[in-house]
Amino acid sequence: VAATIELEFPARTEYLSLVRAVVGTVAGHGPPLEPLRVNDLCLAVSEACANAIDAYNDEGRAGAPVRVRLAVDADRIQVEVSDLAGGFDPDAVPADPTAHVSRERGLGLPLMRILTDELQVVSTEDGTAVCMVMLGGRRR
Amino acid sequence: MELGLELTERAGVAVIAVTGEVDVASAPRLREQIVSVVSDGAPRIVCDLDGVEFLDSTGLGVLVGALKRCRTHGSELVLVCNQSAILKVFEITGLLQVFEIHKTVEAAVAAG
């Protein structure tokens, strides 16, 4: 039976540490994931949340709500990070993380793609939802 | 865990021991610390990441920016890291080839 845990936090970077702690703990109750892959998920979720905070900040809406929804079952853990900021075009972000290094920004989305087993980004002018999946037991 | 920064000197080399979480919230403090050490004219700076529990893309960006700043000022920046979780972030971003990374502070100091 799948369990769902939801949290909502104000779009401020000081909450990211707390979000990672929750994701790491919940992942420990989900499918068997190697510790490195739990770390991968925490990093991917943290990057998604940081992007949501950035998106709100761009609109002068610091502290607006970011939602994190975790669904765990025996085979997989799915995390959806969503915001109600203005959105962006995910296809316009180069997938290769090495393309971003010199600019020191824009690394988040390519990292999420590499770190997770499945990634879906839906972004409209009403907000963005990033859905990440880690499959249990798989080695990378 | 909160970011910790401790600056020491070994054989004329500035060593910054970084502990805890380096993320978008804490990375500006790391940037300030490195900028300050570079401004003081340190010829070689070792950034010891062995006590780092988490590193995000902003933390990586700060290190890349620090490397550029060091090169501009004619100083060297080298890293110390043994942790697979942290090294993986460098690997997938192609930064293993960009940074000089040592296994111990002693090796990083001696290599200068």
pLDDT tens per residue across span A48-60: 999 999 999 999 9
Rounded to whole angstroms, the Cα distance separating B99 from B59 reads 14
Q: Is the pLDDT of residue A138 over 80?
A: no
Nearest CA in chain A to B89: A111
A1-A27-A21-B34 Cα dihedral, nearest 10 degrees? -150
Nearest CA in chain B to A38: B85
- In A, minimum Cα distance to B2 occurs at A17
pLDDT tens-digit series, residues A16-73: 999 999 999 999 887 888 889 999 999 999 999 999 999 999 999 999 999 999 999 9
pLDDT digits (tens, 9 = 90+) for A72-105: 998 999 999 999 998 888 888 887 777 665 555 6
Residues ≥6 apart with Cβ < 8 Å to A116: A40, A41, A44, A132, A133, A134
CB contact under 8 A, B92 and A43: no
Specify the pLDDT at position B107.
96
| Chain A residues touching B89 at Cβ < 8 A | 43, 111
What per-residue confidence (pLDDT) applies to A101? 59
Question: Which pLDDT score, from 0 to 100, does residue A96 have?
Answer: 78
pLDDT for the residue A102: 57
Question: What would the pLDDT profile of B18-69 be if each residue is shown by its tens digit?
Answer: 999 999 999 999 999 999 999 999 999 999 999 999 999 999 999 999 999 9
Mean pLDDT of all residues in chain A?
A: 90
Determine contact: A97 vs chain B, CB below 8 A.
yes
Burial class (CB in 10 A: 0-12, 13-18, 19+), A24: middle
Query: Integer distance in angstroms from the first to the last C-alpha of chain A?
Result: 26
DSSP A106: S
| Predicted confidence (pLDDT) at residue B78 exceeds the cutoff of 60 | yes
Q: Is the pLDDT of residue A140 over 50?
A: no
Residue type, B65: G
The H or E element spanning position B55 is strand B44-55
Task: Give the nearest partner residue to A36 out of B23, B57, B85, using CB atoms.
Answer: B85
CA distance A51 to A123: 12
More confident residue, A140 or A1: A1
Contact status, residue A117 vs residue A135, Cβ threshold 8 Å = yes
Angle between helices A16-27 and A35-58 (to 10 degrees): 150
Q: Residue A28: its pLDDT value, please? A: 84
- Say what the pLDDT of residue A97 is: 75
Q: Do B61 and A17 touch (CB under 8 A)?
A: no
What is the predicted pLDDT for the residue at B68?
Answer: 94
Bridge partners, B7 (sequence order): B16
* pLDDT for the residue A16: 97
Q: What is the DSSP letter of A140?
A: -
Q: So what's the pLDDT on residue A105? A: 63
More confident residue, A91 or A127: A127
Provide the pairing of β-strand A118-124 with A127-135.
antiparallel
Question: Using one digit for the tens of pLDDT, what is the confidence trace for B7-18?
Answer: 999 999 999 999
Instruction: Please indicate whether, in this complex, the C-beta atoms of B54 and A108 are within 8 angstroms of each other.
Output: no
Q: CB distance B93–A40 less than 8 Å?
A: no
